[in-house]
Amino acid sequence: MIKIVSIAVLAVAVSSCASIDTLLNKTNSTGAMTDTITSINAEKGLVTLQSNHSVQDTADKLVSVIESKGMKVFARVDHQKNAQSADLSLRPTQVVMFGNPKAGTPLMNCEQTVAIDLPQKNLN
């Protein structure tokens, strides 16, 4: 059963890929790309939500919830800090990578390529 689910997820991911040409040719009546990008992201399973908190606070709260649910935070990447170390500027951008080895390992044992999507990631 797990193998069927993981194969179905991979098939949906592959079939929902959009080419650059498709992205560039989809605009709304005003020529804006915002609605198109949002719909393409939704088709791919990417959900975008606005936070009322700073990037740092949002990431901190997420880490707290993840850990309270018994999952593990594998990494937290501060892209702004990394950009500064290269004398570049970037607005606050953090990625939290998290998961549960008890859930992910059986999926990877069933279909090793699912590891490309694991651990789960959240962009703040």
The Cα–Cα gap between 69 and 103 comes to: 13
Tokens standing for residue 6: 């993981």
Instruction: Enumerate the H helices of 73-123 as residue ranges.
Output: 79-85, 101-110
Count of other CB atoms within 10 angstroms of residue 93: 16
User: How confident is the prediction for the chain on average, in pLDDT?
Assistant: 77
Confidence class for position 115, pLDDT limits 50, 70, 90: very high
Residue 35: pLDDT above 80? no
Mean pLDDT of 85-108: 96
The Cα–Cα gap between 89 and 92 comes to: 9
The Cα–Cα gap between 10 and 12 comes to: 5
Mean pLDDT of 42-69: 89
